[in-house]
Amino acid sequence: LLALQVLGLAVVGWPAARSGYPLDDSWIFTVLARNVAEFHSWGYNPQAHTSGATSLLWTALLSLNTRLLGCSPIAFSHGANALFFLALGQLLLRLLLRCGSSAPRALSLVALFCLGGNVIWLAWSGMEPILFMLLVVAAVLALPRRAAGGGWLASGVPSGLLLGAAAALRPDSIAACCVLFGACAVAP
């Protein structure tokens, strides 16, 4: 799966990624991140504090690059998304195997998902959807199992933290978090 994902990123995504960001929203996040890092201002215009973006966590992550690493914003967001994409595929495969899918079926389904044009495009978009999907899948995997013993890992706290991070990436996902926790309460 990892080899297929790398091949998909290289063959399908890399030619598009070399031309920069495909959306103006990606550039807006870059400007916001620069303003956070350099002027400590959450806004497109450093003199006016506004939310400026729907994803505060993505802006904060990009601003850490600007402040601490100094990589090209495009290289950083593309590199981070490529790593998130690779991790997403691995977690999806683990989730399907945990749910009882056979290895060939699970591998086929995850490969179809990962090698779809939309998902690879998202990996090169310079935006947060791949990280969002990664956090949600990780939260589902971290949900406590019925047979699990006590303690922090079995408490649901890790799932809650991951879903909280997902909500900081995409605030509209709070509804999905409520549905997930409601479903867990009804049928653990």
Per-residue model confidence as pLDDT tens digits over 70-128: 888 888 999 999 999 999 999 999 999 999 999 999 999 999 999 888 898 888 888 99
Structure confidence at residue 55 (pLDDT): 85
Higher-confidence residue: 134 or 149?
Answer: 134
Q: Which residue has the tokens 């990624």?
A: 17
**In the 8-state DSSP scheme, what is residue 51?**
-
Mean pLDDT of 43-51: 74
Task: Please name the residues in contact with 26: beta carbons below 8 A apart, sequence gap of 6 or more.
Answer: 77, 125, 126, 127
Amino acid making up residue 134: L
The Cα–Cα gap between 26 and 138 comes to: 25
